[in-house]
């Protein structure tokens, strides 16, 4: 039976590249871009992307009345957050003078601070950086530990419970670049823009059998 992967559209940026990349690696699935709660509820897997600023993203979820269905997906089915779709899962973000987020993962979202000791490190953190895997996970299958993924962000997540951390990356200090628990995986980097390794991660997600 054809499985459906829902890419959640809540008005935050270009979802087509995420959907295109998922379709490319999982052609046997039905990949849809949707802003409808019923579609997300019916989907087998959910991809939660996001671009822009925290306040707009949280507002976008609320305006589209997607909070409940997203919480349900987060608790029950393979769920992949990307970039802002990682950050707004947390309790609170320091962006936009402070924003309450969805509160699904305990912890906050902090801004990078430039350092006089490392003047070459600009903000936003933009480009290909190394992702150090914190342990084995089905979504890392076929991807080298330390492989480079594409990042573009000025804020980073800090989970209260370190066991959430699935990967770290060094930039103006070490930060959590992916989180995972049960049926949830979420990345700060953009797998859809990260060439072969990014496509591999999306393929792993499309095939992920959650225990």
Partner 1 sequence: MGLAKRVIPCLDVDAGRVVKGVNFVDIVDAGDPVTAAKRYFDAGADELAFLDITASKDNRNTILDVVEKVASEVFIPLTVGGGIRQVADIRRLLNAGADKVSINTAAVHNPALVREASEHVGSQCIVVAIDAKSVAVPGTEAPRFEIFTHGGREATGIDAVEWSVKMAELGAGELLVTSMDRDGTKAGFNLPLTRAISDAVDVPVIASGGVGNLQHLCDGVLAGGADAVLAASIFHFGEYTIEEAKLMMRDAGIEVRL
Pick the closer one to partner 1 by CB: 16 or 62.
16
Residue 30 engages partner 1 in binding (rule: CB under 8 A) = no
Q: Which of residues 123-152 bind partner 1 (CB under 8 A)?
A: 123-130, 146, 148, 150-152
3-state class (DSSP) for residue 185: strand
Site pattern 169..198 for partner 1 (x: CB under 8 A): -xx--------------------xxxx--x
- 45: which strand partners? 5
118-119-124 Cα angle (round to 5): 95
Residue 185 Cα to chain centre, angstroms: 7
For residues 92 and 109, the answer to whether their CB atoms sit within 8 Å is yes
Indicate if the alpha-carbon torsion angle 49, 141, 203, 46 is positive or negative. Answer: negative
> Which of 64, 83, 125, 153 does the annotation list as catalytic?
83
Pick the closer one to partner 1 by CB: 64 or 190.
190
3-state class (DSSP) for residue 125: strand
C-beta of 16: minimal distance to partner 1 in Å?
6
Residue 65 engages partner 1 in binding (rule: CB under 8 A) = no
Residue 203 engages partner 1 in binding (rule: CB under 8 A) = no
Q: For residue 70, which phi and psi values (nearest 5 degrees)?
A: -70, -40
C-beta of 211: minimal distance to partner 1 in Å?
29
Pick the closer one to partner 1 by CB: 62 or 114.
114
Tell me, yes or no, if 190 is annotated catalytic. yes
How far is residue 74's CA from residue 48's CA, in Å, rounded to a whole number? 10
For residues 198 and 142, the answer to whether their CB atoms sit within 8 Å is no
Task: Kindly state the number of chain residues that form the binding site for partner 1, as judged by CB under 8 A.
Answer: 38
Residue 59 engages partner 1 in binding (rule: CB under 8 A) = no
For residues 63 and 10, the answer to whether their CB atoms sit within 8 Å is yes
Residue 111 engages partner 1 in binding (rule: CB under 8 A) = no
Query: CB neighbours of 66 closer than 8 A, spacing ≥ 6?
Result: 8, 10, 35, 37, 40
Q: Determine the interface stretch with partner 1 among 47-55, 66-74, 155-163, 180-188 (rule: CB under 8 A).
A: 47-55
Residues with catalytic annotation? Answer: 83, 190, 192
Chain residues in the site for partner 1 (CB under 8 A): 13-14, 16-17, 20-21, 24, 51-53, 114, 119-130, 146, 148, 150-154, 170-171, 192-195, 198-199
């Amino acid at each position: 039976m054809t499985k459906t992967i829902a890419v959640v559209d809540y008005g935050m940026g270009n979802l087509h590249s995420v959907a295109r990349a998922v379709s490319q690696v999982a052609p046997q699935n039905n990949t849809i871009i949707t802003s409808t709660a019923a579609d997300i509820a019916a989907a087998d897997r959910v991809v939660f992307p996001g671009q822009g600023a925290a306040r707009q993203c949280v507002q976008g979820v609320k305006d589209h009345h997607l909070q409940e269905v997203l919480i349900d997906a987060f608790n029950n089915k393979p769920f992949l957050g990307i970039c802002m779709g990682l950050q707004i899962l947390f309790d609170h973000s320091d962006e936009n003078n402070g924003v309450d987020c969805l509160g699904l993962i305990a912890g906050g979202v902090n801004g990078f601070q430039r350092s006089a000791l490392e003047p070459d490190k600009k903000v936003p953190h933009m480009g290909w950086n190394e992702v150090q895997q914190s342990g084995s996970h089905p979504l890392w299958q076929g991807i080298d530990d330390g492989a480079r993924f594409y990042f573009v962000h000025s804020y980073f997540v800090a989970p209260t419970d370190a066991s959430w951390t699935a990967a770290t990356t060094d930039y103006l200090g070490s930060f959590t670049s992916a989180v995972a628990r049960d049926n949830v995986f979420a990345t700060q980097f953009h797998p859809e823009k990260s060439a072969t390794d990014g496509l591999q991660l999306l393929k792993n997600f499309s095939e992920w059998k959650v225990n």
